[in-house]
């Protein structure tokens, strides 16, 4: 296998620490990925060097003390994706806020393994001598496709309650099983998930929903009681007899949606959000996205996708201006993904969707979304004052252009004069 720049940088970090007389090993997720024969996205190094010793060795200019009090230093690579997190072996004191330990104690690799979350993430690897250090049974669980908390599952989850969601993400994305006592701990503590910040919860949802196993992940989040805590608005889909068919339909739609977009998958999840009418649904959707601290860009895309759910119906009979405006929208490909999954899950024909795909693919961009023939300045030159009428006039002229009734600026100005005379 040809190794990437981050891999080569991470080996070099270990080598320099070793040459300086320290112990150094790769740790955590990168070891898991290597054993699964996947190229790790990032590399963590664990060492007995203290934070200040790491900074002295690599130089202050090439290190960042992002978590020095917890023994964590970032060693800068020659490219941004080559940064390596170097952490001193540590054991941890009590977690008072369900996220961070009150204090840490620098220790050995074996003790360090005990404070990690799941056995498959608790192994170390020596990239110089190609050897695994496994103090928690991680390799056996990896081979048996099991997600198991290290030590007492309730204690591990109590330390950082985001682990409740991480357990499910690993199980779903790796196609592993949740070990029974670990699963019971998740269910027992599900009602405590909201002590975790909305941003961290949303980040875990993002990682689940961009993965092809999104339907299995959300089903497991529901079965363990976490989904009712995170998205209580969806609870009627499985609790109410009025909506009893909509939850299986939602999971099926998630299974069918073919997307790499978190926003498209999230819109797919919330497409049948129980509400008293479309406007109420969109308002509730807005509140959910705000609560989870979505960016405005993500919020607007989710909102637009749900709003446009039925917009492709009877597309062959639409006015050209309406069809072109919809198909020229930058996020139209996301809408195609959502509508395809929605129609398929309900066993409805895809004819209108296919018509739109073909029309968009085979219509030149300058025909689908032409530059306007007139602008606001042209209206001002004709003595028209800015106001509500301004936008209406521009839209009427552009409609005629999209309908291919006019093709030049002279024709557009002539049409404008006719409209004004009326």
Spatial separation of the C-alpha atoms in residues 85 and 110, rounded to whole Å: 19
* pTM listed for this prediction: 0.91
Amino acid 103: pLDDT? 53
Q: Dig out the tokens for 394 from the structure.
A: 């521009």
Residue 187's pLDDT band, with cuts at 50, 70 and 90, is very high
Residue 361's pLDDT band, with cuts at 50, 70 and 90, is very high
- The backbone region for 406, taken as left when phi is positive above 0, alpha when psi lies in -120 to 50, beta otherwise, is beta
- Give 67 or 194, the one with higher predicted confidence: 194
Residue-wise pLDDT tens digits, 226-262: 999 999 999 999 998 888 789 999 999 999 999 999 9
Amino acid 421: pLDDT? 87
Amino acid 94: pLDDT? 57
Spatial separation of the C-alpha atoms in residues 272 and 280, rounded to whole Å: 12
**Of the candidates 313, 207, 309, 328, which has an alpha carbon nearest to the alpha carbon of residue 267?**
309
Whole-number mean pLDDT of the chain?
A: 94
Amino acid 2: pLDDT? 63
Region of poorest pLDDT, from 59-73, 82-96, 398-412: 82-96
Same CATH topology for 1-140 and 145-230: the answer is no
Determine which helix (DSSP H) or strand (DSSP E) holds 90, and give its type and residue range: strand 90-92
Spatial separation of the C-alpha atoms in residues 170 and 162, rounded to whole Å: 12
pLDDT of residue 102 exceeding 70, the answer is no
**Of the candidates 130, 212, 201, 222, which has an alpha carbon nearest to the alpha carbon of residue 175?**
212
Spatial separation of the C-alpha atoms in residues 41 and 138, rounded to whole Å: 20
Amino acid 92: pLDDT? 64
Q: Where are the alpha helices (DSSP H) in 175-272?
A: 180-189, 198-209, 214-223, 226-230, 236-239, 246-256, 262-269
Spatial separation of the C-alpha atoms in residues 124 and 30, rounded to whole Å: 9
Amino acid 389: pLDDT? 86
The stretch 89-104 carries a mean pLDDT of: 62
74 to 53, 88, 178: CA distances (angstroms): 13, 12, 32
Check if the beta carbon of residue 150 is closer than 8 Å to that of residue 141. Answer: no
DSSP secondary structure letter of residue 118: B
Residue-wise pLDDT tens digits, 59-71: 999 999 987 677 8
Token match 């008072």: residue?
96
Lay out the sheet containing 72-75: strands in order across: 63-67, 72-75, 84-88, 44-47, 24-27, 124-126, 131-133
Architecture of domain 1-140: 2-Layer Sandwich (3.30)
Residue-wise pLDDT tens digits, 328-352: 999 999 999 999 999 999 999 999 9
130 to 21, 127, 134: CA distances (angstroms): 19, 5, 13
| Helix (H/G/I), strand (E/B), else coil: 2 | coil
Spatial separation of the C-alpha atoms in residues 94 and 160, rounded to whole Å: 10
pLDDT of residue 363 exceeding 60, the answer is yes
Spatial separation of the C-alpha atoms in residues 101 and 159, rounded to whole Å: 7
CATH number of 145-230: 1.10.110.30
Query: Domains of the chain: which residue ranges?
Result: 1-140, 145-230, 232-369, 372-421
Check if the beta carbon of residue 169 is closer than 8 Å to that of residue 224. Answer: no
Region of poorest pLDDT, from 52-56, 96-100, 296-300, 410-414: 96-100
């Amino acid at each position: 296998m040809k190794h990437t720049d981050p891999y080569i940088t991470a080996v070099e970090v270990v080598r320099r620490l070793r040459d300086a007389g320290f112990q150094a090993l790769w740790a955590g997720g990168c070891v898991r990925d290597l054993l699964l024969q996947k190229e790790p996205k990032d590399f963590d190094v664990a060492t007995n060097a203290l934070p200040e010793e790491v900074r002295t060795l690599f130089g202050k200019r090439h290190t960042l003390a992002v978590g020095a009090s917890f023994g964590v230093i970032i060693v800068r690579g020659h490219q941004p994706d080559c940064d390596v997190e170097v952490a001193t072996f540590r054991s941890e004191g009590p977690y008072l806020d369900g996220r961070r330990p009150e204090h840490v104690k620098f220790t050995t690799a074996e003790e360090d393994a005990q404070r990690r979350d799941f056995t498959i993430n608790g192994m170390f690897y020596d990239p110089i001598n190609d050897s695994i250090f496994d103090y928690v049974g991680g390799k056996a669980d990896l081979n048996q496709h099991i997600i198991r908390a290290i030590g007492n599952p309730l204690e591990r989850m109590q330390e950082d309650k985001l682990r409740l969601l991480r357990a499910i993400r690993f199980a779903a994305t790796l196609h592993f099983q949740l070990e029974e006592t670990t699963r019971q701990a998740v269910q027992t503590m599900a009602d405590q998930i909201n002590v975790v910040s909305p941003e961290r919860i949303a980040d875990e949802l993002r990682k689940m929903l961009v993965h092809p196993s999104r339907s299995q992940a959300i089903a497991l989040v529901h079965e363990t009681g976490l989904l009712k805590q995170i998205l209580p608005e969806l609870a009627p889909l499985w609790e109410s007899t009025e909506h009893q068919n909509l939850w299986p339909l939602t999971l099926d739609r998630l299974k069918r949606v073919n997307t790499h977009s978190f926003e498209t998958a999230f819109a797919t999840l919330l497409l049948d959000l129980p509400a008293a009418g479309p406007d109420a649904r969109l308002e509730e959707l807005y509140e959910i996205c705000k609560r989870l601290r979505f960016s405005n860009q993500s919020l607007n895309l989710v909102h637009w996708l749900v709003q446009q759910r039925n917009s492709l119906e009877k597309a062959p009979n639409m006015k050209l201006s309406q069809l072109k405006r919809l198909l020229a929208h930058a996020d139209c490909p996301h809408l195609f993904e959502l509508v395809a999954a929605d129609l398929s899950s309900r066993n409805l024909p895809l004819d209108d969707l296919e018509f739109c795909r073909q029309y968009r693919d085979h219509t030149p961009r300058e025909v689908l979304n032409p530059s306007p023939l007139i602008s606001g300045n042209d209206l001002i030159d004709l003595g028209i004052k800015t106001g509500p009428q301004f936008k209406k006039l521009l839209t009427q002229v552009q409609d005629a252009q999209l309908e291919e009734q006019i093709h030049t600026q002279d024709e557009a100005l002539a049409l404008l004069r006719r409209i004004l005379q009326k």
